[in-house]
Structure 1
Amino acid sequence: MKKKLIVLFSIFILVVLSACGDDTESENDTGTESDIDTIVLSDAGWDSNRVHNSIAQMIIEEGYDQDTDVTAGTTAATFQGLVDGDINVYMEAWTDNIKEIYEEAIEAGDIEEISVNFDDNDQGLYVPTYVIEGDPERDIEPMAPDLRTVEDLKDYPEVFEDPEDPERGRVINAPSGWAVQEAIDAKFEVYGLDETLNNFMPGSDAAIVASLTDAYESGEAWVGYYWSPTGVTAQYDLTLLEEPAFDEEIWEETKATEFPPNDVTVAVHKDLPEQAPDVVEFLSNYETNSDLTEQALTYMDENDADPEEAAIWWMEEHEDIWTSWVSDEIAEKVKEAL
């Protein structure tokens, strides 16, 4: 009889512990549901992506008591990581730059698009505005007053002289491995830029910024790929060179149009909605615009701040925005952490 009671008591204890263990796996300290140890975000190599990562990480970690991490790499590598599930969240998917693989991943059910972060952005080949208009305050004369379009660039090799090949000009492309690099390669051919200009491939976004900053501060000519929202486009007076209006058929065939409209979305791996439904609900409300993003990037530049510091500043400045993405309870936890 005594042995039977011991066995029954042991079974009772196991049942209770098992039930407690199930509760621990399904809810974290806030009572929000989660079935994933660490949520991994992608860093595809530019500062606005890093700022949005930092904002999301602050809210996920402090509001939902959920660990996060970041995996850095090229656009192609990080997006493949999202498809494979090695990465859980993509805060800045420039959908038209990766249109084919993005749509294939959506159709295959490998990823889910849950929000549009912003959609009022530009990209293409820029020149400092003083190249066209001059700058009397800096005693800079117009260098190419008739420059209007990307195709016009081939008429100005002497203005955009390549320091390593003075007989030709230089256009700064996007870094190798970025989705837009191949588009600019195609533009070089279709617009005839390769007749007089060299297609220069920088090693990184930082290399583009350093090149532009050096030229701008010296009042010299410069032309190259960039995009908004960025700290650079907020800080400097730049002109986006014109191209024919976007036409999908022409774009798919030759890239001889302006870049397509680009929804910059928040996308997640297919499993995350089940693994962390509350976090996904927050991310589905995540929405900014180019101006809001550039404010954080300008703060980085002016204060020599890193993306996390800029994210904290941005959240303090725009409490009304980010608190609308989450419940009052979560908002209070994050505000206390800030």
Structure 2
Amino acid sequence: MGFRRAAMAASMLVLLAGPVPAQFTTLDGAQDGAASPAIAAPAPCGDQPLVIARMNWPSAVLLAEIHARLLAAELGCDARVTPGDPAATASSMGSTGQPAVAPELWVNRIADVWNGAMEAQMVRSAAPTYAETTFEGWFMPAYMGGNGAAAPAAAALPEILGPLSPGTPIRFISCPLDWACSVINRNLVRAHGIERLVEIVEPANRFEMDRMIAEAVNRREPFLFYYWQPNAVLAQLDFIALDMGAYDESAMKCLAGRTCSTPAASTFAPDLVVIALAERVFIDLPQVAGYFQRASLPLVEMNRLLAQLNQPGATPEAVADGFVAERGEIWRAWLDNGLPQ
């Protein structure tokens, strides 16, 4: 009886464990200890959905859709996109660890919420969202600057602009009068010594600003203008960003004031825009964390995607599909060896 009970128990164990491959059994049905089945590696994304915040502005929408597709296709993640808001998303990540990812978080705008979540060790920046950290600047059309071969220096503007319209100032299309950049631009014009070479024009609003720029390009007019990135306008028309030099914090404090008596040149202040991850991603999902640590996107590429999104009938989902299908030379570097840096 004892033998029969033991045999029945052994049979039940085999049934519960599933069939044993023939190559790992001996003639009497026992497993060969010399070779054991491999243990399955854990999934890169774990066994729970990976939730990605999709903020409500176009570049953030595109990034959420792009990362969701790549994580699903390349790492086998159950990646899900959910609506997001900067402050609410950062707060939720700091208290619950959800969503797991916010691909474009402008943390200077929500500094108190972000710093609190960081101090609680609930969130961390994986990498800058974009390869560049300065998002404002001066531009000129490519037909003024050697077809974009090199970025002219703002410091060389007196030599560049002088021969273009002798005795007649060219237009500098600034930003609306009630924007802070209008004051900075006026002071920078003085700092670069081009007050007599340009006529500052301050549009009434963003739409008039875009219209003026487009009309000037259509006329092939020599002109300068202020703009920011990421933005479709800079990809839809052929422009060159001027090299504004280094950032000087003390100079910028004066440039931002209406009574700056001795303006000195500086580029615009950098901004902190990050791929935010819940801390648990670094701990539990190192391959996903490594992917995002390499996922900074060049601004020129986002400008191109935004220009595509502006085409009639375009959707964020279709533009994201196109990026995945056509821009492997960019996103394959995000995968690399799958390990965090």
Matched, 1:50 2:47: no
> Which structure shows the bigger proportion of residues in helix conformation?
1
Aligned-pair CA distance for 1:309: 1.8
The equivalent of 1:119 in structure 2 is: 131
SS in 2 for 1:85: helix
CA distance in 1, matches of 2:69, 2:106: 23
Question: Which amino acid is the alignment partner of residue 84 of structure 1?
Answer: S
CA distance in 1, matches of 2:245, 2:184: 12
1:306 alignment partner AA: T
Query: Are the equivalent residues in 2 in contact too, given 1:51–1:307 (CA < 8 A)?
Result: yes
Is it true that 1:202 corresponds to 2:209 in the alignment?
no
Q: 1:90, 1:268 within 8 Å by CA — same for their partners in 2?
A: yes
- 1:68 aligns with 81
Q: CA deviation at 1:115?
A: 1.9
Shift of 1:61: 5.2
The SS at the match of 1:118 is: coil
Q: How many residues align?
A: 259
Q: Which moved further from structure 2: 84-93 or 308-317?
A: 84-93
Q: Which amino acid aligns with 1:66?
A: A
SS at match of 1:233: helix
* Deviation of the 1:312 alpha carbon: 1.4
| Match of residue 92 from structure 2 | 85
Greater mean deviation of Cα atoms: 108-117 or 298-307? 298-307
Distance in 1, Cα, partners of 2:189 & 2:322? 46
Report the counterpart of residue 233 of structure 1 in structure 2. Answer: 234
- 2 CA distance for matches of 1:291 and 1:308? 20
Give RMSD over aligned pairs. 4.9
- Tell me the amino acid that sits aligned with residue 268 of structure 1: L
2:174 is paired with a residue whose SS is: strand
> What is the alpha-carbon distance in structure 2 between the residues aligned to residue 232 and residue 323 of structure 1?
27
Distance 1:233 1:170, change over 3 A: closer
Q: Which residue of 2 aligns with 1:213?
A: 214
Kindly state the Cα deviation for residue 129 of structure 1 after the two structures are TM-superposed: 4.8
Q: Is the 8 A contact 1:34 1:276 kept in 2?
A: no
The one-letter code sitting in structure 2 at the alignment partner of 1:217 is N
Deviation at 1:242, TM superposition (A): 5.8
Q: Secondary structure at the match of 2:275?
A: strand
Alignment gaps of 5+ in structure 1: 1-29, 72-77, 136-144, 150-154, 161-168, 330-338
Q: Relative to 1, partners in 2 of residues 1:271 and 1:232: Cα closer, same or farther, differing over 3 Å?
A: same
Q: How far apart, CA to CA, are the structure 2 residues paired with 1:325 and 1:240?
A: 27
Matches within 5 A, 1:320-335: 321-323=330-332, 325-326=334-335
Asked if the contact 1:64–1:279 (Cα under 8 Å) also holds between the matched residues in 2, the reply is: no
| Post-superposition offset of 1:292 | 4.3
Amino acid at match of 2:237: Y
The match for 1:307 among 301, 307, 316 is: 316
Please tell me the residue identity of whatever aligns with 1:115: A
The residue aligned with 2:184 is 187
- Closer, same or farther: CA 282–257 of 1 in aligned 2, 3 Å: same
**Please, which of 325, 328, 340 is the counterpart of residue 316 of structure 1?**
325
Distance 2:221 2:69 in 1: 41
Which of 165, 169, 175 aligns to 1:172? It is 175
Deviations along 1:307-326, whole A, 9 cap, x unmatched? 32222122112336535545
Aligned equivalent of 1:152: none
Q: Which AA in structure 2 matches 1:246?
A: Y
TM-score (norm 1): 0.54
Distance in 1 (alpha carbons) for counterparts of 2:231 and 2:44: 38
Task: Report the alpha carbon displacement of residue 56 of structure 1 after superposing the two structures with TM.
Answer: 0.9
Larger Rg: 2
SS of structure 1 residue aligned to 2:314: coil
Residue matched to 2:252: 251
CA drift at 1:258: 0.7
Confirm or deny: 8 A CA contact 1:41 1:89 kept in the other structure. Answer: no
What amino acid is the match of 1:69?
A: T
Distance 1:113 1:106, change over 3 A: farther
Instruction: Give distance in 2, aligned partners of 1:252 and 1:110.
Output: 34
| Equivalent position to 2:141, from 116, 128, 140 | 128
Q: Which 5+ residue runs of structure 2 have no aligned equivalent?
A: 1-42, 94-98, 148-156, 162-166, 257-264
